[in-house]
Chain A
Amino acid sequence: MAEMKTAAYICKGCELGSRLDAASLVKIATKEGKMNLVREHDFLCSADGVALIKNDIDNEGVTHVAICACSRRAKTEAFNFPANAVSRGNLREGVIWIRPDTDAARETTQEMAEDYVRMACAEVKAMKVPEGNQNTGGVKTLLVVGGGISGMTAALEASKAGYKVVLVEKTGALGGMTAKLYKRIPTREPFKAPEDNGIADLVAQIEADANIKVYLNATLAKTSGAPGRFKVEIAVESGSVATEDVGAIVQATGFTPYDMNKLPHLGGGQANVVDQAGLEALAKAANGGPIKRADGKEVKSVVFVQCAGQRDTSGEHLQYCSGHCCNTSIKQAMYFKDSNPDIDTVVLFTDLRTPGNGEDFYRSAQNKGVIFSKGVVSNVSANGGGCKVKFKDLILNEETETDADLVVLATGMVPTSGPDLDALSEATRAAEGGDEAAKEQVVQMKSKSVLNLDYRQGPDIPQFKHGFNDSHFICFPYETRRTAMYAAGPVRRPMDTVQAVEDATGAAMKAIQAMENAGLGKAAHPRAGDLSFPTARLEGCTQCKRCTVECPFGAIDEDEKRFPLFNESRCRRCGTCMGACPVRVISFENYSVNTVGAQIKAVDIPDEFSEKPRVLILACENDAYPALDMAGMNRYEYDAFVRVIPVRCLGSVNTIWITDALNSGYDGVMLMGCKHGEEYQCHFVKGSELGRYRMSKVYDTLKGMNLEEERLMDLEVAITDIETLPKKINDYAAKIVAMGASPFKGL
């Protein structure tokens, strides 16, 4: 690599030139920042300004660029020099826009700007250009687990984009639950009648597709490696084990119907009571003719009980709604009405849920004479040759009952998502402590594993609510906490076949993208394309395992010598490992203990008599930093004593930054990160939570330093806190002023 040559650019546009003493900034960049080249410009983001920088890079050998102008969120494209290390000193949104243009404020505003110039120079000198590791594996074969409609769709869609696919199905045939349907709910206009289940066609397409290799009667015995270089051992029922190299995984393992035997009060387990899957079997056997019960009797009256064991508030059954069951019961009622309009078909429901065009399907059923009645069923019992259904009619507000030859229970979907990793790790801890029952439990739980990952953090994808492998992010529905593994279909979220097809196509998209980027050494969402990755100076490592335990994405294993083993293509570049490391041996090329530490040290700390306290703000770049920026855009003022450094995530904050800051005379430190807990907002899932946990330990250190607890403040910030954040900063600064200068100043 070429020798480092640094350059700082001081912009004088957007009133920076009139509000600030640019000559002084240039001097600081030269003398204190020790930049090899310092230039000022009246309008740096203009074509002319950018050309100036470009020329310095091309012809002056500049490698490291500190741009002291606007926020890194502004003019990002103009100041894009991918082959160079670039830092941004935020003089506009971070200084002149949040300070009043008054003579009284001039001095402290200038000091603020000077510090940001010092920080930008210090940061860029500590940065390297990420080169990206392209040797992390370039396998571009997709593994699809599960051969139902979701899995088959994912396989076919990936193949159509030109990718090879390995499809592993547990049973002896493709088709899954959908193959067991007599018909499925309509997918097309006019949405009035059930359609063919479509499975035969999908199976034929798979069989004709040379890109797709199918393993039937097969499960995953072991999945090791990382995106772009997974190795999977596929255990086939016959006893043989095949090995395949794959780049990414779509888990489409579907669901099982909730066990109706758990619903004895609704007749679960009785004769003449079936669940929806049971009714499909009867309809399939009838094949358009009269539907007969198990005892051979033709059904003349049928009652559908919606939400059977679902939307349950008692805590005994499923809490959620499975989404598809209203349409499924409508479809099944049509099986009867289409074969014989005289059959009584009653659907008992509390809220009928037929979103979108399901409404046309619902109307069609009403036109066919299906009765929909708002009622809550309390009991289903045998009655003569059929069933008696007791229910509360919610319209007439009275208890009533009806008889039926057959009762269909709309039970919900239970995802086939493997063991819950939190429960498993708890049981494992107990088992390691010698608990015999826990040992048994661990074996039992592990036997349910779908992926059998050999990741340190457990054998499957962490689950979200109710056992589904869903994302917690509304804007990013496919995010899982295991890179290049995506859930599709009812294992991700309860859904019908139409949605499952869409969902599987999207999951295949994400998986393909993950494979492509793994091969280029690029990060997956949310830092998509980031070429930096963490490296550790192992000679300094104490094998404390904090990084391996805390990584929210299971990216780090331990090698045979118990050192952390980074799997770069699993890594999302959040820096949680860097924040966790007590001996500070983990860093990224362009984001390290040093890039932030150097900025902290660069700030000029006035002495204790100056009455100019300094408050360090470490702000999450995803939410808090943009909120501060927008405060600037709105010209909301805040205190001139703060110095803000954006961080990738609160999880990446190493406590050394805080103790170093306080030791070197900062009067206070504010941490600004995203919400954690159940409704967490952290884009790295656990980052802000782990960061906060770590910070709670710093309070002990403060005590040891004889510093007030208040000198560290941890603030939960949302991106919308545009007005409130300046006020919180000012309140904190006022508190710090009242508290008096840090005793560490000038030491």
Chain B
Amino acid sequence: MTVATNQTILVVGGGISGMTAALEAAETGKHVVLVEKNPYLGGRTAQLYRYFPKMCHPTCGLEINLRRLKANPRIQVLTMAEVTGISGTKGDYTVNLKTAPRFVNENCTACGECAKAVSGEIDDAFNYKLGKIKVAYLPHAMAYPQRYVLDPAILGTADADKAKAACKYNAIDLEQKEESVSLKAGAIVWATGWQPYNAENITPYRYGEFPNVITNVEFERLADPHGPTGGKILRPSDGKEAKNIAFIQCAGSRDENHLRHCSRFCCMGSLKQTHYVQEKYGDEGKSTIYYIDIRAIDRFEDFYAKVKANPNVSFVKSKVARISEDKDGNPVCWGVNTEGYVRYSNPHDMVVLAVGMEPSVKGVDIPAEVMADSSGFIMADPANAGIFGAGCATNALDVNRAVQSATAAALRAIQVVNKVARAEA
């Protein structure tokens, strides 16, 4: 049962920004309800193989954050839940939520017997549909809550009965329905994060049509040993090792036809991904970065300098005009290198589009009056003093900056609930 008052801070979005905002507020003594749409916390950072510039693993920080969360009784987590409406004003909001059925209750011990029992498969959303998982699944090894999920596709199939029969703990509840919940909150932190720009919109790059043209977020899953290929960088078309890889920067970003803003993280993201190629294939792995400007800001410059010094990485100052496919299924990049105006048509084993960031929930879709910029990112609004953006819902940010933004948002929310508390004292 979720208990909330007008001194509660509601955090919408359980990625690293939302978790941070929730934890910082709760560790300051505030009561927090954290709402997440997915069946697990961690958001997109959980889907990254490594972070730049340290090349460390996002799950390391996730472990710390989950431990903080488990140790903190002031945070209530609602997964598979979405906000459908917000009414009221600063210090006194009523928030309507809709929760989707997990079909698995809190009795679940994560023993995995249900997954063993079923045979049906669905696309693996965690791996950007690059693989399949069972209809009864734990989204990933560090999924929190540590409880299995049954996909709705299981309903009415033999698998549903098998899963239920396999569970010794009465944890499977096929009668669960979508529910509506209404909560009070004094302040709201909106941390719904980002989604990769739809690469299919960039028609000359033929994403979705040429199997060996993929996106940067998909590439993270390919490189991850816990991903669909076991960490092998393989071409989707024929499973061949992809050793000669092109990275196309600003795929959608800095382009008034697509995303007008610069997405900030993608240069560093591709520089990082050249490390993956080097890690897997050594000197046989070749990376080519097609770029307009390399935006390795502040001390990230050190990282850029290291990548530049790698003879297996080359840089071409050019916005790739189009991609074709040769008879071997190799994507071919066409364009002009603006340094010296040289035309090129370079075949690669695989092309990685460094697609940009757009807000998952655009400002106008947020069910409350919140100001947004022309890209849909939430802007600080002095008039609206009770709903605050955090992380990539506010700007195209890297992880470090998103966490910083979320920490700031936590204080803004605390200001509101402290005021409520003072008024009620």
Contacts and interface: CB of A to CB of B under 8 A. Distances in A.
Interface of A: 13-15, 43, 45-46, 70, 73-77, 80, 157, 160-162, 188-191, 311, 313, 319-323, 351-360, 363, 374, 394-395, 397, 465-466, 468, 470, 472-478, 493-495, 499, 502-503, 505-506, 508-510, 512-513, 516-517, 525-526, 528-529, 622-623, 626, 630, 633-634, 675, 679, 681, 683, 718-720, 722-723
5 contacts: A161-B414, A162-B415, A397-B340, A474-B54, A679-B55
Contact of B412 (A189, A503, A505): A505
Report, nearest first, the 9 A-B pairs whose CB atoms are least far apart.
A475-B61, A506-B407, A505-B408, A509-B411, A355-B264, A351-B293, A506-B408, A76-B70, A513-B28
A175 B189 CA distance: 30
B169 A13 contact: yes
Interface in B322-355: 338-341
A535 B109 CA distance: 38
Given A13-B109, A478-B404, A719-B60, A465 B141 contact: no
B111 A14 contact: yes
Interface stretch (B158-166, B193-201, B233-241, B395-403): B395-403
Interface stretch (B126-134, B281-289, B297-305): B297-305
Given A76-B70, A355-B295, A509-B407, A477 B301 contact: no
Contacts of A319: 301-302, 305
A509 B24 contact: yes
A151 to B, nearest CB: 15
B177 interface: no
B222 interface: no
Given A14-B109, A311-B301, A633-B141, A513 B24 contact: yes
A719 B407 contact: no
Given A162-B422, A529-B27, A679-B56, 5 more contacts: A43-B109, A476-B403, A506-B405, A506-B406, A623-B60
Contact of B64 (A162, A321, A683): A683
Contact of B70 (A77, A320, A476): A77
Contacts of A478: 404, 407
Contacts of A77: 70
Contacts of A356: 261-262, 264, 395-397
Contacts, number: 231
B374 A190 contact: yes
A395 B339 contact: yes
B294 interface: yes
B307 interface: no
Given A351-B294, A679-B56, A683-B64, A320 B299 contact: yes
Nearest to B357: A356
B63 A719 contact: yes
B16 A718 contact: no
A477 B403 contact: yes
B379 interface: yes
B394 to A, nearest CB: 9
A626 B340 CA distance: 52
B258 to A, nearest CB: 12
A630 B142 contact: yes
Contacts of B422: 162
Nearest to B254: A359
Interface of B: 16, 23-24, 27-29, 51, 54-65, 67-68, 70-73, 107, 109-112, 138, 141-142, 146, 168-169, 225-226, 254, 256, 260-264, 293-302, 305, 317, 338-341, 373-375, 379, 395-397, 399-401, 403-408, 410-412, 414-415, 418-419, 422
A354 B262 contact: yes
A494 B298 contact: yes
A633 B51 CA distance: 24
Contacts of A679: 54-56
B191 to A, nearest CB: 14
A293 to B, nearest CB: 30
Contacts of B60: 475, 622-623, 681, 718-719
A191 B379 CA distance: 12
Would you call the interface of chain A mostly helix, strand, loop, or mixed?
loop
Contact of B297 (A14, A15, A355, A506): A355
A157 B408 CA distance: 9
Given A465-B299, A720-B57, A503 B27 contact: no
Contact of A474 (B56, B107, B263): B56
A352 B293 contact: yes
A394 B28 CA distance: 53
A473 B64 CA distance: 12
A43 B169 contact: yes
Nearest to A508: B411
A120 to B, nearest CB: 19
Contacts of B375: 357
B91 to A, nearest CB: 14
A321 B54 contact: no
A518 to B, nearest CB: 12
A466 to B, nearest CB: 6
Contact of B57 (A322, A476, A494, A719): A719
B260 A359 contact: yes
Contacts of A358: 262
Nearest to A471: B400
A360 B404 CA distance: 24
B264 A74 contact: no
B56 A681 contact: yes
A4 to B, nearest CB: 24
A359 B261 CA distance: 5
A502 B405 contact: yes
Contacts of A76: 70-71
Contact of B305 (A313, A394, A503): A313
A474 B404 CA distance: 10
B374 A75 contact: no
A351 B408 CA distance: 30
A405 to B, nearest CB: 28
A77 B66 CA distance: 12
B65 to A, nearest CB: 7
A531 B234 CA distance: 49
Contact of A189 (B59, B379, B406): B379
A505 B301 CA distance: 26
A502 B379 CA distance: 12
A322 B298 contact: yes
B289 to A, nearest CB: 12
A43 B295 CA distance: 54
Q: Pick from B112, B262, B375, B414 the residue with the most CB of A within 10 Å.
A: B262
B374 A516 contact: no
B55 to A, nearest CB: 7
A512 B57 contact: no
A95 to B, nearest CB: 14
A480 to B, nearest CB: 14
A611 to B, nearest CB: 33
A157 B411 contact: yes
A80 B67 CA distance: 13
A16 to B, nearest CB: 10
B400 A477 contact: yes
A168 B71 CA distance: 37
B261 A360 contact: yes
A516 B109 CA distance: 36
A357 B339 contact: no
A516 B56 CA distance: 31
A630 B110 CA distance: 12
A477 B72 contact: no
Given A321-B296, A681-B60, A161 B415 contact: yes
Contact of B68 (A14, A394, A528, A720): A528
Nearest to A394: B339
Nearest to B381: A188
Contacts of A526: 64, 68
Contacts of A516: 28-29
Given A311-B301, A509-B407, A513-B27, A474 B142 contact: no
Given A397-B339, A502-B404, A623-B60, A723 B225 contact: yes
Contacts of B300: 321
